[in-house]
């Protein structure tokens, strides 16, 4: 399965969220996404940030922090009525996952 991710913080896109665990506000603060990428790979899946693959590539899409209406990737997925758009809020316990339905936005 192909998992597409988009981080609210541009530094972590370009697949850096799977390689860069360091953060400007704390050592290894972003390391959970590095581990997530490794685990998905171990399970036989593919993970990439949305800017590294064509729009039709992901089977499931995750946004790290809520995307604004100005996010062109988010708008494109809504227009395509992508069936699996998810919001992943990963900075702080507990980990929260919210499934977004394009018809409800």
Rounded to an integer, what distance in angstroms lies between the CA atom of residue 42 and that of residue 35?
10
| Listed ranges 5-14, 24-33, 79-88; the one with the highest mean pLDDT | 5-14
Rounded to an integer, what distance in angstroms lies between the CA atom of residue 89 and that of residue 86?
10
| Residue 46: predicted pLDDT | 96
| Residue 42: predicted pLDDT | 94
| Residue 72: predicted pLDDT | 77
| Residue 38: predicted pLDDT | 92
Q: Looking at per-residue confidence, does 14 or 77 come out higher?
A: 14
pTM above 0.75, yes or no: no
For residue 42, the tally of other CB atoms under 10 A from its CB is: 8
């Amino acid at each position: 399965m192909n998992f597409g991710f988009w981080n609210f913080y541009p530094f972590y896109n370009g697949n850096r969220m799977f390689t860069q665990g360091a953060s400007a506000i704390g050592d290894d603060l972003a390391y959970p996404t590095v581990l997530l990428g490794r685990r998905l790979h171990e399970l036989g899946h593919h993970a990439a940030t949305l800017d590294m693959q064509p729009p039709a590539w992901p089977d499931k899409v995750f946004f790290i922090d809520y995307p604004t209406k100005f996010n062109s990737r988010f708008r494109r997925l809504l227009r395509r009525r992508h069936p699996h758009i998810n919001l992943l809020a990963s900075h702080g316990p507990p980990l929260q996952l919210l499934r977004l339905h394009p018809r409800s936005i």
